[in-house]
Amino acid sequence: MTDAAKHGLTHYREDGAAVMVDVSAKDVTAREATATAVLLTRPDVVGRIASGDLPKGEAVAVARVAGILAAKRTHELVPLCHPLPISGVEVDVVPAGDRVELRATVRTTSRTGVEMEALTAVTVAGLTVYDMIKAVDRAAVLTDVRVVAKSGGASGTWVRPDDGAAGPGGDA
């Protein structure tokens, strides 16, 4: 038995090869995950994002759609993710001060969770904002990408301890 198998790591076979976990024995349940990220830039750039005055156009709507598309295609980007029947995706892109706050909530009714889909959505939304502002601020930084809440499945509900105000879907 490999060290991975001894320690209960689920993405490894006995011989140590990586595998996609078989979730066929898991219950189908409603599942939800929320992830957040921050794109740091200058206040003048944030103003241009908010007003839609960028060389590439209106960043907020484009980033929102990019995040939704990314959530639906996560299994094509992350090798061991299962393709999931996504029930809903919400992506918020909020310009504020010297930053753009990004939040994605993904829902499914399935045998496995949607944390990776929420992370992918918020990351691609942030990358899209960067792409749209790079002509005016190449020094912008996408940071603090993290899951802040998840619900459903055998492990139930989890909320990031340092983000207690953010429950699934953004509710406190």
Would residue 125 count as lying in a domain? yes
Q: What is the pLDDT of residues 116-169, one digit of tens each?
A: 999 999 999 999 999 999 999 999 999 999 999 999 998 899 999 986 444 344
Would residue 162 count as lying in a domain? no
**pTM of the entire structure?**
0.87
Would residue 159 count as lying in a domain? no
Q: Where are the beta strands (DSSP E) in 6-118?
A: 29-40, 86-96, 99-110
The model's confidence at residue 172, banded by pLDDT at 50, 70 and 90, is very low
Model confidence at 9: pLDDT above 70: no
pLDDT of residue 167: 39
Is 131 a catalytic site residue? yes
> Are the CB atoms for 163 and 150 separated by under 8 Å?
no
Would residue 101 count as lying in a domain? yes
User: In which domain, by residue range, is 107 found?
Assistant: 26-154
The count of domains in the chain is 1
Would residue 171 count as lying in a domain? no
Helix axes 115-133, 59-72, angle to 10 degrees: 150
The single-letter DSSP state of residue 168 is G
Q: What is the pLDDT of residues 62-112, one digit of tens each?
A: 999 999 999 999 999 999 999 999 999 999 999 999 999 999 999 999 999
Would residue 56 count as lying in a domain? yes
Would residue 165 count as lying in a domain? no
Domain at 107, CATH number: 3.30.70.640
Catalytic residue among 3, 53, 92, 131: 131
Would residue 166 count as lying in a domain? no
Q: What is the pLDDT of residues 11-51, one digit of tens each?
A: 667 787 888 888 988 999 999 999 999 999 999 999 999 99
